[in-house]
Chains A and B, each alone.
Chain A
Amino acid sequence: EAQVTQNPRYLITVTGKKLTVTCSQNMNHEYMSWYRQDPGLGLRQIYYSMNVEVTDKGDVPEGYKVSRKEKRNFPLILESPSPNQTSLYFCASTSGGPGELFFGEGSRLTVL
């Protein structure tokens, strides 16, 4: 089954405690991206990757890091989480244009 898998799905953490949200896709897609979704603000892109070892900033990259060492994986790293990073995060991938996205199920993160 074609899918984008994110883990963890739910996480409560404390300010400053480094965390990683993993994302894996089994569709051999070259393009992957991370979004956060906040009430009233919609979906905003954090980072995207065109291929292995190629990453670039989206609209809201501050406080986040990513890496793309393998085609299937695109982890999102929060080195020192802060409460304003409390959000619903989505990983997405596509073999087509950057707007034709296949989303993961989402990871709800709460930073206390």
Chain B
Amino acid sequence: QKEVEQNSGPLSVPEGAIASLNCTYSDRGSQSFFWYRQYSGKSPELIMFIYSNGDKEDGRFTAQLNKASQYVSLLIRDSQPSDSATYLCAASGGSYIPTFGRGTSLIVHP
């Protein structure tokens, strides 16, 4: 059974702080990893993807991948109240069925 685990939260951080969201996966065959943001009542939106070990930066977002530890993280620098949402981690391997985690709720308070 392929699983992607996330702490459901909520993770509460003050405005301007770094938010750190974490995800572990069970399938060692997973090759591609994704972070989606989902605002309440809205559809998920892809914000980052990472395929190789290490860090990938895009604006205020940094995705980190450690395949040996089967660990993926998303860092949000200078967090804003508009970043308050649920963040979904997903992993995809050789099949065409990506596995999603249950999501971590992030609250950024002013």
Does B17 interact with chain A (Cβ within 8 Å)?
A: no
Whether B43 and A59, one on each chain, are in contact in the complex, defined by CB atoms closer than 8 angstroms, is: no
Does A102 interact with chain B (Cβ within 8 Å)?
A: yes
Contacts of A43 in B (CB 8 A): 44, 88, 90, 100
Interface range for B: 20 to 34
Which B residues, 28 to 58, have Cβ-Cβ distances below 8 Å to chain A? 32-34, 36, 42-46, 49
Given contacts A42-B103, A90-B43, contact A99 B98 (CB under 8 A): yes
Whether B43 and A104, one on each chain, are in contact in the complex, defined by CB atoms closer than 8 angstroms, is: yes
Contacts of A99 in B (CB 8 A): 32-34, 49, 90-92, 98
**A98 and B103 alpha carbons, distance in the complex (Å):** 19
Whether B101 and A102, one on each chain, are in contact in the complex, defined by CB atoms closer than 8 angstroms, is: no
**A101 and B92 alpha carbons, distance in the complex (Å):** 12
**A36 and B92 alpha carbons, distance in the complex (Å):** 18
Instruction: State which of B49, B100, B102, B103 has its C-beta within 8 Å of the C-beta of A100.
Output: B49
Contact with B along A39-51 (1 / 0, CB 8 A): 0111111001010
Whether B102 and A41, one on each chain, are in contact in the complex, defined by CB atoms closer than 8 angstroms, is: yes
Instruction: State which of A41, A58, A105 has its C-beta within 8 Å of the C-beta of B97.
Output: A58
Contacts of B33 in A (CB 8 A): 99
Interfacial residues, chain B to chain A (CB-CB below 8 A)? 32-34, 36, 42-46, 49, 88, 90-92, 95-98, 100-103
Interfacial residues, chain A to chain B (CB-CB below 8 A)? 31, 40-45, 48, 50, 56, 58-59, 90, 97-106
